[in-house]
Copies of this chain bind each other. A is one copy, B any other.
Amino acid sequence: MTSEQHAAAERIAASFAKQGLMATLGASLGAVAPGKVEIILIPGPAVSQQHGFVHAGAVSAIADSAAGYAALSLMPPGRGVLTTEFKINLVAPAAGDRIIARGEVVKAGRTLTLAQAKVFAEASGQEKLVALLTATLMAIEGREGVND
Protein backbone atom coordinates (compact mmCIF):
# COMPACT_ATOMS: atom_id res chain seq x y z
CA MET A 1 0.00 0.00 0.00
CA THR A 2 1.40 3.37 -1.00
CA SER A 3 1.18 6.24 1.45
CA GLU A 4 -1.41 7.80 -0.87
CA GLN A 5 -3.58 4.70 -0.69
CA HIS A 6 -3.11 4.66 3.05
CA ALA A 7 -4.31 8.27 3.27
CA ALA A 8 -7.36 7.48 1.13
CA ALA A 9 -8.23 4.50 3.35
CA GLU A 10 -7.94 6.66 6.48
CA ARG A 11 -10.10 9.34 4.93
CA ILE A 12 -12.85 6.85 4.06
CA ALA A 13 -12.67 5.26 7.53
CA ALA A 14 -12.96 8.68 9.21
CA SER A 15 -15.98 9.62 7.09
CA PHE A 16 -17.59 6.20 7.56
CA ALA A 17 -17.30 6.62 11.33
CA LYS A 18 -19.38 9.80 11.02
CA GLN A 19 -22.25 8.03 9.20
CA GLY A 20 -24.51 7.41 12.16
CA LEU A 21 -26.74 5.20 10.03
CA MET A 22 -23.95 2.68 9.43
CA ALA A 23 -23.48 2.19 13.19
CA THR A 24 -27.24 1.98 13.68
CA LEU A 25 -27.42 -0.79 11.06
CA GLY A 26 -24.34 -2.51 12.49
CA ALA A 27 -22.56 -2.15 9.14
CA SER A 28 -18.79 -2.20 8.95
CA LEU A 29 -16.21 -1.04 6.45
CA GLY A 30 -14.43 -3.81 4.52
CA ALA A 31 -11.63 -3.54 1.96
CA VAL A 32 -10.81 -0.07 0.63
CA ALA A 33 -8.79 0.58 -2.54
CA PRO A 34 -8.71 3.52 -4.97
CA GLY A 35 -12.10 3.46 -6.69
CA LYS A 36 -13.31 0.41 -4.75
CA VAL A 37 -14.93 0.15 -1.33
CA GLU A 38 -16.62 -2.73 0.48
CA ILE A 39 -19.27 -2.50 3.23
CA ILE A 40 -20.56 -5.44 5.24
CA LEU A 41 -23.88 -5.98 7.00
CA ILE A 42 -24.95 -8.86 9.23
CA PRO A 43 -28.57 -10.00 8.61
CA GLY A 44 -30.85 -10.04 11.64
CA PRO A 45 -34.14 -8.73 13.03
CA ALA A 46 -32.74 -5.19 13.36
CA VAL A 47 -32.42 -4.77 9.59
CA SER A 48 -35.25 -7.01 8.39
CA GLN A 49 -38.40 -6.48 6.36
CA GLN A 50 -41.65 -8.25 7.16
CA HIS A 51 -40.64 -11.68 5.78
CA GLY A 52 -37.34 -11.79 7.68
CA PHE A 53 -35.08 -10.95 4.71
CA VAL A 54 -32.78 -7.95 4.92
CA HIS A 55 -34.89 -4.87 4.07
CA ALA A 56 -34.31 -3.38 0.61
CA GLY A 57 -33.64 -0.10 2.40
CA ALA A 58 -30.78 -1.60 4.40
CA VAL A 59 -29.35 -3.25 1.29
CA SER A 60 -29.62 0.10 -0.48
CA ALA A 61 -28.00 1.95 2.39
CA ILE A 62 -24.80 -0.12 2.35
CA ALA A 63 -24.75 -0.25 -1.47
CA ASP A 64 -25.17 3.53 -1.71
CA SER A 65 -22.43 4.11 0.86
CA ALA A 66 -20.10 1.65 -0.89
CA ALA A 67 -20.66 3.40 -4.23
CA GLY A 68 -20.30 6.84 -2.64
CA TYR A 69 -17.07 5.96 -0.87
CA ALA A 70 -15.67 4.42 -4.05
CA ALA A 71 -16.28 7.83 -5.65
CA LEU A 72 -14.85 9.72 -2.67
CA SER A 73 -11.70 7.58 -2.76
CA LEU A 74 -10.80 9.23 -6.09
CA MET A 75 -11.59 12.81 -5.05
CA PRO A 76 -8.92 15.33 -4.15
CA PRO A 77 -8.85 16.25 -0.43
CA GLY A 78 -11.42 18.87 0.56
CA ARG A 79 -13.99 17.62 -1.90
CA GLY A 80 -17.02 15.74 -0.68
CA VAL A 81 -19.69 13.78 -2.53
CA LEU A 82 -23.46 13.69 -2.34
CA THR A 83 -25.64 11.02 -3.95
CA THR A 84 -27.99 12.68 -6.45
CA GLU A 85 -29.73 9.49 -7.55
CA PHE A 86 -29.44 5.75 -7.52
CA LYS A 87 -31.26 2.77 -8.88
CA ILE A 88 -31.15 -0.67 -7.38
CA ASN A 89 -32.34 -3.98 -8.77
CA LEU A 90 -33.03 -6.61 -6.12
CA VAL A 91 -32.54 -9.95 -7.84
CA ALA A 92 -32.78 -12.35 -4.88
CA PRO A 93 -33.90 -12.12 -1.25
CA ALA A 94 -31.00 -10.89 0.91
CA ALA A 95 -30.36 -13.51 3.58
CA GLY A 96 -27.39 -15.50 4.84
CA ASP A 97 -24.39 -14.97 7.12
CA ARG A 98 -23.18 -11.68 5.69
CA ILE A 99 -24.32 -9.14 3.10
CA ILE A 100 -21.40 -7.56 1.25
CA ALA A 101 -21.73 -4.44 -0.91
CA ARG A 102 -18.84 -3.82 -3.29
CA GLY A 103 -18.76 -0.31 -4.72
CA GLU A 104 -16.74 0.59 -7.79
CA VAL A 105 -16.33 3.74 -9.86
CA VAL A 106 -17.50 3.33 -13.47
CA LYS A 107 -16.68 6.84 -14.71
CA ALA A 108 -15.15 9.64 -12.64
CA GLY A 109 -16.10 13.12 -13.85
CA ARG A 110 -15.39 16.64 -12.68
CA THR A 111 -18.93 17.29 -11.47
CA LEU A 112 -20.63 13.89 -11.65
CA THR A 113 -19.23 10.43 -10.97
CA LEU A 114 -21.01 7.22 -11.95
CA ALA A 115 -20.45 4.34 -9.56
CA GLN A 116 -21.88 0.88 -9.21
CA ALA A 117 -22.25 -1.52 -6.31
CA LYS A 118 -22.86 -5.23 -6.47
CA VAL A 119 -24.35 -6.72 -3.33
CA PHE A 120 -23.72 -10.36 -2.44
CA ALA A 121 -25.21 -12.60 0.22
CA GLU A 122 -22.68 -14.96 1.72
CA ALA A 123 -23.96 -18.24 3.16
CA SER A 124 -21.81 -21.22 4.09
CA GLY A 125 -18.88 -19.51 2.39
CA GLN A 126 -20.70 -19.18 -0.94
CA GLU A 127 -21.52 -15.78 -2.44
CA LYS A 128 -24.65 -15.04 -4.43
CA LEU A 129 -25.58 -11.79 -6.16
CA VAL A 130 -28.62 -10.22 -4.51
CA ALA A 131 -28.61 -6.64 -5.81
CA LEU A 132 -27.06 -4.26 -8.32
CA LEU A 133 -27.00 -0.49 -7.72
CA THR A 134 -25.90 2.33 -10.03
CA ALA A 135 -25.49 5.77 -8.50
CA THR A 136 -24.64 9.30 -9.55
CA LEU A 137 -22.46 11.17 -7.06
CA MET A 138 -22.00 14.91 -7.22
CA ALA A 139 -18.73 16.50 -6.19
CA ILE A 140 -19.20 19.20 -3.58
CA GLU A 141 -16.62 21.79 -2.71
CA GLY A 142 -16.75 24.78 -0.43
CA ARG A 143 -20.26 24.10 0.82
CA GLU A 144 -20.27 24.58 4.57
CA GLY A 145 -20.32 21.34 6.48
CA VAL A 146 -19.90 19.18 3.39
CA ASN A 147 -16.61 17.45 2.96
CA ASP A 148 -15.41 13.90 2.59
Q: Is the interface of A mostly helix, strand, loop or mixed?
A: mixed
Contacts A20-B48, A51-B145, A57-B58; A85 near B83 (Cβ below 8 A): no
Tell me if A24 counts as interface (CB < 8 A to partner B): yes
- Counting every copy of the chain, the complex holds 4
Decide: A107 and B91 in contact? CB cutoff 8 A. Answer: yes
A7 / chain B contacts, CB cutoff of 8 Å: none
The residues in A between 82 and 135 inclusive whose CB is less than 8 angstroms from any CB of B are 82-93, 106-107, 109, 111-112, 114, 116, 129, 132, 134
A residues at B contact (CB < 8 Å): 15-16, 18-21, 23-25, 44-52, 55-58, 60-62, 64-65, 80, 82-93, 106-107, 109, 111-112, 114, 116, 129, 132, 134, 136, 138, 145-148
